Homo-oligomer: A and B are copies of this chain.
Amino acid sequence: MVFIDACFRRPTPYTPIWMMRQAGRYLPEYMEVRAQAGNFLNLCHNPVLAAEVTLQPIRRFGMDAAILFSDILVVPNEMGMELEFIKGEGPNFPSPITTQADLDALHVESAAEKLEYVYETIRLVRADLESQTALIGFTGAPWTLATYMIEGHGTKTYAVVKKMIATQPQFMHALLEKLTHVIKGYLERQIEAGVNAVQIFDSWASALEEEAFFEFSWRYILEISEYIKAKYPHIPVILFPKGISGYLERVRAIGGNFDVFGVDWSTPIELAKAKLGDRYVLQGNMEPTRLYSKEATRKGVEHILHVMNNEGHIFNLGHGMLPDLEPENAAYLVDLVHSLSKR
């Protein structure tokens, strides 16, 4: 697979591409399946429908990798936290974690097993996907999941979880350890079900100052990655801590056993290359809003391909695909990356 070869820095005939949130609301065929499912969580719980939306962008655009359709919050959900998706407001845990009793009540040993609908989705997708197309499994990072579990929902200030960091760091670590344990089992089972690579999304890495990021997020991500790589050395591990361009020096100094570093759009690709490009393959990082215009898309692609020079690079957006984009522009992007990077 071109994508897997690129993850391991093996020669490829062109630079592979996939797009974060490539299965999503900008596709009319996704909206149809979503309507059929009734709501977002039903869609995640239904392997047949989840497999269908996973495959849609591949059929339409021919990316080099599909990414499992699911949501990072199915993990806390199966750890026993009630989860609802409120229209226009996003996810919500009506009973966030505040006390030791809440922490003790989390299901740790059974959660990974209960996510069987995810593994079934993977089996269905893999059976239908052409052999040259990779399937990427994923999870949220412990810090990002913990933030949702403590705040209850999206937040602009992260005041609740940061107050916990400042005043009850041990409580925070206890939650992060539980999540780390569950996530190891979750990724293992995804791999056993057939994914060819895994990505850990730390969407809220950018909420943490440097010291806190390394103490409360990165160490747990590296622990998960080490565990997976020790057991499955042939499976590439991709880490995507969003918005930490100021911390790359320390990421390099700490090192860690993973294959690909996901670069978000706020990190100049030259900077990521200079700090990490010789150690890790880089994935990214076009600003998604460039897709509003073909001209801006072309300029973005040319710049990134020029900097990376066909070496140790997987093309991606620097954040998720936007719901109001024309599918035509996604097709333009995929074709452009493939044609401009052809060796």
Contact = CB atoms under 8 A, between A and B. Distances in A.
Contact of A322 (B159, B265, B266, B268): B159
Contacts of A289: 158-159, 162-163, 165-166
Given A163-B292, A246-B246, A318 B209 contact: yes
**Chief secondary structure at chain A's binding surface:** helix
Interface residues of A, number: 36
A9 interface: no
Contacts of A154: 156
Contact of A249 (B265, B266, B271, B318): B271
A287 B246 contact: no
Contact of A293 (B166, B249, B296): B166
A188 to B, nearest CB: 33
A245 B245 CA distance: 6
A243 interface: yes
A289 B157 CA distance: 10
A37 to B, nearest CB: 24
Nearest to A207: B266
Nearest to A288: B162
A99 interface: no
Interface string A312-326: 000000100010100
A247 interface: yes
Contact of A265 (B209, B243, B291, B318): B209
B271 A243 contact: no
B287 A212 contact: yes
Interface in A251-271: 265-268, 271
Given A167-B292, A293-B166, A209 B245 contact: no
A35 to B, nearest CB: 23
Nearest to A154: B156
A290 B144 CA distance: 20
A303 B212 CA distance: 13
Interface string A157-173: 11100110111000000
Contacts of A322: 157, 159
Contacts of A166: 289-293, 296
A158 B292 CA distance: 13
A308 to B, nearest CB: 16
A210 interface: yes
Contacts of A287: 162, 209, 212
B268 A210 contact: yes
Interface string A189-227: 000000000000000001001111000000000000000
A296 to B, nearest CB: 5
Contacts of A210: 268
Interface in A123-167: 154, 156-159, 162-163, 165-167
Contacts of A296: 166
Contacts of A209: 265-266, 287, 318
Residue among A166, A206, A211, A289 facing the most chain B CB atoms (10 A cut-off): A289
5 contacts: A159-B322, A162-B289, A209-B265, A245-B246, A246-B267
Contact of A266 (B162, B243, B324): B243
Interface string A271-289: 1000000000000000101
